[in-house]
Amino acid sequence: MSSISEILNNPAYHDYLAILKGARNGFVYGVKVRFPHALIMAILFGRGDWISRLKVIFRATKQHALNLAKFVSIYKTILLLQKKTNGGKPRNADNFIAGLIGGYIVFGDRNAVNEQIVLYVCSRVVASFIPRASSPYSTSSSSGAAVRPVPPDSRYFSLFAAACWGAVMWLFEHRGETVQPGMFNSMTYLYRDSERWKDLRTLIWHNT
């Protein structure tokens, strides 16, 4: 046990073990994020019996978890390779290059899970260009981080929110084929299913 502890705490092995830990964290985070989402979607919009729905939940959770594990592993590995080719010193562009390659390898295959993840990441990238407020978030999970996230300036965020909702509602009504399927189903449930009912039961208690 002492030899294992020495390896785990040896700085010479840190970067290599960080790849392993990153893969582990990617897998666990993927399960935590995807399983409840897939379960709710199966309850609200799922078709077929529960055996079929459980298979869909399992496949989506497995794919999300494995993809995050693979991406973190590839990203950290490429960062390490770039660092070694530069005399042990990281460069500003290293993160972009590692993310670019990892994103293409892992998330370049278009499927429902990858599409949702990429659109989520894209929305965060776009939102990062909103001017920031003057102080960080009051509570932040990035304990020990050198940088604390700063929320968007409330004035600009209001304009950003209005533009997003105006755009997505127009797309839903006039270019529905371009809306991501999960969001399209949610919007159909909210805005079109609410236009139809047969009696008091389907008005208040049950959707159709």
- The string of pLDDT tens digits covering residues 32-44 is 999 999 999 888 8
User: CA 145, 151, 156 angle in degrees (round to 5)?
Assistant: 155
For 106, residues 6+ apart whose C-beta sits below 8 A from its C-beta are: 67, 70, 71, 74, 114
107: left (phi > 0), else alpha (psi -120 to 50), else beta?
alpha
pTM of the model: 0.79
pLDDT tens by residue, 90-130: 899 999 999 999 999 999 999 989 999 999 999 999 989 88
pLDDT in tens, 177-186: 999 888 898 8
Assigned token pair, 100: 């670019």
Determine the pLDDT at residue 19: 94
The percentage of the chain sitting over the pLDDT mark of 70, rounded to a whole number, equals 95
Q: Does residue 140 have a pLDDT over 60?
A: no
Residue type, 41: M
- Mean pLDDT for the stretch of residues 195-201: 83
